[in-house]
């Protein structure tokens, strides 16, 4: 019973893990995270760089895992902090918070998908409601 149950849940989650890892690697090599941060920084202005980086982290956090996204954003966080002469913690903590929230609550991450699989919930409703 346990093996059959785990196999069913892992079957749906494994595809998402593999695709997320590949997408994270592509975002890292293409410079997509840096482009997102720069775009939001230009749109929101220099006074709102923390909000810009946090917003970029939200969108980056949807297709990739928390640790992958944070590692991708770490050099950008340090760069913004150095230019703004602000502690990297003021950038890093909001980024970590939003990425953890996205990782825990937003499909296609494995946690919400596994919970939906175990509870036989509809992924569409889970995406809408959170």
SS (H, E, C) 36-101: HHHHHHHHHCHHHHHHHHHHHHHHHHCCCCHHHHHHHHHHHHHHHHHHHCCCHHHHHHHHHHHHHH
pLDDT score of 96? 94
Cis peptide leading into 108, omega within 30 of 0?
A: yes
* Minimum mean pLDDT range among 1-10, 45-54, 70-79: 1-10
Task: Kindly tell me if the per-residue pLDDT of 69 is higher than 70.
Answer: yes
Residue 36 and residue 115: Cα distance in Å, rounded? Answer: 30
Question: Average pLDDT of 25-51?
Answer: 77
Question: Average pLDDT of 99-128?
Answer: 82
* Minimum mean pLDDT range among 22-36, 80-94, 102-116: 22-36
Residue 59 and residue 95: Cα distance in Å, rounded? Answer: 11
Could you tell me the end-to-end alpha-carbon distance of the chain, in angstroms, rounded to an integer? 29
Confidence class for position 112, pLDDT limits 50, 70, 90: confident
Question: What residues does each domain of the chain span?
Answer: 2-129
pLDDT score of 6? 66
């Amino acid at each position: 019973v346990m093996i059959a149950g785990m196999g069913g849940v892992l079957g749906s989650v494994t595809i998402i893990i593999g695709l997320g890892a590949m997408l994270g690697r592509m975002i890292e090599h293409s410079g997509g995270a840096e482009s997102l941060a720069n775009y939001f920084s230009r749109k929101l202005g220099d006074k709102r760089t923390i909000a810009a980086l946090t917003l970029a982290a939200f969108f980056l956090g949807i297709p990739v895992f928390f640790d992958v996204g944070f590692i991708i954003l770490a050099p950008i966080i340090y760069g913004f902090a150095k230019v703004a002469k602000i502690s990297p913690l003021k950038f890093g903590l909001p980024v970590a918070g939003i990425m953890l929230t996205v990782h825990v609550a937003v499909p296609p991450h494995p946690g919400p998908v596994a919970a939906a699989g175990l509870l036989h919930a509809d992924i569409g409703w889970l995406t809408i409601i959170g």
